[in-house]
Amino acid sequence: MRISPFALLAATAALAIAASGAQAADLPSRYSPAAAYNAIPTFTWSGFYAGVNLGYGRSTGASQYYDPAFNVTGGGRKSGFIGGLQGGYNYQFGMFVVGAETDLQYAAVGDKGATYRGTSYPGDSDGYFGTVRARAGLAFDRALVFGTLGFAYGEIGGNKALDGALGYRRDNDMSGGWTMGGGLEYAVTDNFTAKVEGLYVNLDTSDSYALANRVNIRRDTEFGVLRAGLNYKFN
């Protein structure tokens, strides 16, 4: 059978195109592979932390002394330095953060003295208090706004006293009570956070002490605290 030159030329061209396509398929792609996506981790408040704090406290309840036999009164309010340690744990889900915190503080806000018939029986104002509190708040990335409520204990001053005629004495007994407050905390780095916090503390040390129906004593230990703190957050 006779093949025309035109058909032979067309068949040759088709074979050349097919061979060229096969060779091209074997060549490496000229396009770069898709870049791997690595998400930048977001900050989380979850984890344990510990730190230090310092601030100012002021007694809001007067340590009052009253002797009905002589109708003599005395008392006062104290303010001073507060500082100590704190530690706790936070757990974050979404914007919500819940946790628990405990702290132990030196506090110069007490009034351990007494007054009798114009004579002052001074006492030092040094004392201590601690708290065990629940915390809850809202996180806005690295900023946390929180409230706190819990148990307080300590010995600030003004628990019990006897007047001079009956033999002055002062008892330094630890008392319990409650505390509440709130504040703002900010994560300066992934590990260090700074906070400003306010607390109201009531140690429930109002006390009556009677001897021969002559002496009644009332001590009302309530004080406010404004403090700044620095925490280290463990990853």
Residue 76 has pLDDT above 80, yes or no: no
Residue that has been written with the tokens 């114009």 in this structure: 118
The CATH number fitting domain 47-233, selected from 2.40.160.20, 3.90.1480.20, 3.40.30.10, 3.30.540.10: 2.40.160.20
Task: Report helix, strand or coil for 149.
Answer: strand
What DSSP designation does 166 have?
G
CA distance 220 to 234: 39
The backbone region for 122, taken as left when phi is positive above 0, alpha when psi lies in -120 to 50, beta otherwise, is beta
Cα four-point dihedral sign 86, 87, 93, 94: positive
Highest mean pLDDT among 24-38, 75-89, 148-162, 201-215: 75-89
Cα 123–chain centre separation:
32
Report CA-CA distances (Å) from 95 to 39, 86, 134, 137: 19, 24, 17, 8
pLDDT, average across residues 213-223 = 59
Single pTM value for the model: 0.69
